[in-house]
Amino acid sequence: MTIAEEEIRKFENHNCAENNVFYQAMEEVIYSIAPLLQSDEKYRKHGIMERLVVPDRVIKFKVTWLDDNNIIQVNTGYRIQFNNALGPYKGGLRFHPTVNEGVLKFLGFEQILKNSLTGLHIGGAKGGSDFDPKGKSDFEVMKFCSAYMTELHKYIGARIDVPAGDIGVGSREIGYLFGEYKKITSTYEGVLTGKPFFFGGSLMRPEATGYGAVYFTESMLEMEGKEPLMGKVCTVSGAGNVAVHAIEKLTQIGAVPVACSDSKGTIYDSRGIDVELLKDIKLNKRQSLTKYAEVHAEAKYIPIEEYPEGGHAVWDIPCYAAFPCATQNELTEIDAQNLINNGCVSVTEGANMPSTPEAISLLQSHKVCFAPAKAANAGGVVVSEFEMSQNAAMSKWGFAKVDERLKETMQMICKRVALTAKDYGVEGNYVDGANIAGFKKVADAMIAEGI
């Protein structure tokens, strides 16, 4: 039995229906770090994996709120504080009907290693609720956020745990959450990141994840001796915060992002996505992507039901570089095969774990440059940490400073991941490089801090 198999066997009890995505994330990490466990016995001796896969605490609570018809609604709220060996717990909040403990454990676990890769002092956490903001009025979202914070405020603080946004949580929700925290605690502190700029947010936090994924890709392509993105056709899935800003940065650097998607369908616009229109439809008005095709008749809208099951229309559009920026396991083996058949050279994960393990193996075996989420989408949490620094110092950084530091950090992460992969005999494998480098730093801190 190999070390990886031995380790995976220890954690078989985590493999149940609710934990399937958590188990998927954990299994990938164990396979990647096996050479490290083999070469340095201290990690097993100190039971690092055993300690890392169990969150420090899982906070689960009832959220009761009144809808616009004065009917009582009940949701479940969570905060999973996973690991604070490197700094205060840090990670987003997701509001989506699919949220459960298993999904948040996967996201929190990934966040530990992602935050470690940034080189900043931030631990890993994730939280959220099964509340669905879709179709709710602003007032209902506000009431839900207030009720959620009524419970959450007991567990967070600028030096304890600093939540931010994720799916379904943008600056509107962060604003309401911050307002309630301030009201309950009478404290004006950097307890949340992703705040609107005019009351303590950092410039560029909304753009950071998407921009960062593009910076990472440019760096990876250069390191792998591939042509840069300028002039190249790109495809992006999703149409939320990460996707829109990836499209915006691609457009700024002269690439041609031709596609985006939401849970109902895909837009293909061969002239390049009109990013201002997309922002207005998805980020301001929260409308369906069909509106895009109503304005630009030349663009094609492909409803999800018109594409064969098992694959996704967005990955069947020829591209040089693909950016999955929607949600977990949205890029399947069938999609990977389509990308390969169409000559795709690189795949960058803007979303968290958007590619299935089978898709990753296939892409890597065909030498497609593959940038895993925990490295490539770290830009969001990096600028969140910049926001924490600015709040702590009561200062404000200009756009150029944030952008420059974000770019530098993404380049540093890319280099560190590539060099780690090389050191461990898996040159070009950014998945293994990211897992080993991320794990090693947290593990060393856990050993140094004792049990």
Ligand X SMILES: NC(=O)C1=CN([C@@H]2O[C@H](COP(=O)(O)OP(=O)(O)OC[C@H]3O[C@@H](n4cnc5c(N)ncnc54)[C@H](O)[C@@H]3O)[C@@H](O)[C@H]2O)C=CC1
Residue 195 C-alpha from the chain's centroid: 18
Sign of CA dihedral 382, 383, 384, 389: positive
Whichever of 249 and 282 has its CB closer to ligand X, that residue is: 282
114 assigned to a ligand binding site = yes
Residues 107 and 19 sit within 8 Å (Cβ to Cβ):
no
Residues in the chain: 451
Q: How far apart are CA 206 and CA 380, in angstroms?
A: 8
384 assigned to a ligand binding site = yes
28 contributes a contact to ligand X by CB under 6 A: no
Examine the residue annotation and report whether 126 is marked as an active-site residue of this protein.
yes
Contacts of 283 (CB under 8 A, 6+ apart): 170, 240, 241, 244
CB of 128 to ligand AKG, least distance (A): 10
Whichever of 237 and 352 has its CB closer to ligand AKG, that residue is: 352
Rounded to 5°, the CA angle 25-421-405 comes to 85
342 assigned to a ligand binding site = no
Q: How far apart are CA 100 and CA 365, in angstroms?
A: 33
Whichever of 150 and 202 has its CB closer to ligand X, that residue is: 202
Residue of 29, 99, 112, 164 interacting with ligand AKG (CB under 6 A): 164
Residue carrying the six token digits 């958590």: 22
168 contributes a contact to ligand X by CB under 6 A: yes
The 3-state DSSP class for residue 129 equals strand
Task: Select the binding partner of residue 241 from ligand AKG, ligand X, none (C-beta < 5 to 8 A, by kind).
Answer: ligand X
241 assigned to a ligand binding site = yes
Task: Select the binding partner of residue 91 from ligand AKG, ligand X, none (C-beta < 5 to 8 A, by kind).
Answer: ligand AKG
Q: Which of 119, 214, 114, 213 is nearest to 164 (CA)?
A: 114
Which 8-state DSSP code applies to residue 325?
-
201 contributes a contact to ligand X by CB under 6 A: no
Q: Which of 373, 351, 347 is nearest to 359 (CA)?
A: 347
Q: What token pair was written down for 67?
A: 């809808």
Residue of 77, 92, 201, 257 interacting with ligand AKG (CB under 6 A): 92
What angle, 0 to 180 degrees and rounded to 10, lies between the N-to-C axes of helices 20-39 and 3-10?
Answer: 140
Choose the catalytic residue: 60, 105, 126, 134.
126
Task: Select the binding partner of residue 251 from ligand X, ligand AKG, none (C-beta < 5 to 8 A, by kind).
Answer: none
Helices (H), 297-398: 333-341, 357-365, 373-376, 379-393
91 contributes a contact to ligand AKG by CB under 6 A: yes
Given the DSSP bridges, would you call strands 161-164 and 256-262 parallel, antiparallel or unpaired?
unpaired
Binding mask 238-277 for ligand X (x = CB under 6 A): xxxxxx-----------------xxx--------------
Residues 247 and 210 sit within 8 Å (Cβ to Cβ):
yes
Q: How far apart are CA 393 and CA 374, in angstroms?
A: 28
284 assigned to a ligand binding site = no
Part of the chain binding ligand X (CB under 6 A), chosen from 50-58, 195-203, 322-330, 409-417: 322-330
440 contributes a contact to ligand AKG by CB under 6 A: no
Residue of 11, 30, 79, 90 interacting with ligand AKG (CB under 6 A): 90
Q: How far apart are CA 339 and CA 336, in angstroms?
A: 5
Task: Select the binding partner of residue 21 from ligand X, ligand AKG, none (C-beta < 5 to 8 A, by kind).
Answer: none
CB of 42 to ligand X, least distance (A): 31
Whichever of 167 and 250 has its CB closer to ligand X, that residue is: 167
Whichever of 150 and 235 has its CB closer to ligand X, that residue is: 235
Q: How far apart are CA 47 and CA 41, in angstroms?
A: 10
Starting at the edge strand that comes first in sequence, how are the strands of the sheet with 321-324 ordered?
300-303, 265-268, 256-262, 233-237, 321-324, 346-348, 369-371
201 contributes a contact to ligand AKG by CB under 6 A: no
Part of the chain binding ligand AKG (CB under 6 A), chosen from 2-10, 22-30, 88-96, 138-146: 88-96
- Residues annotated catalytic, as ranges: 126
Binding site membership for NAD(+): which residues? 209, 241
Interacting residue ranges for ligand X, rule: CB under 6 A: 165-168, 209, 237-243, 261-263, 282, 325-327, 330, 350-352, 377, 380
Interacting residue ranges for ligand AKG, rule: CB under 6 A: 90-92, 111, 114, 164, 166, 193, 352, 380-381, 384
Binding site membership for substrate: which residues? 90, 111, 114, 165, 384
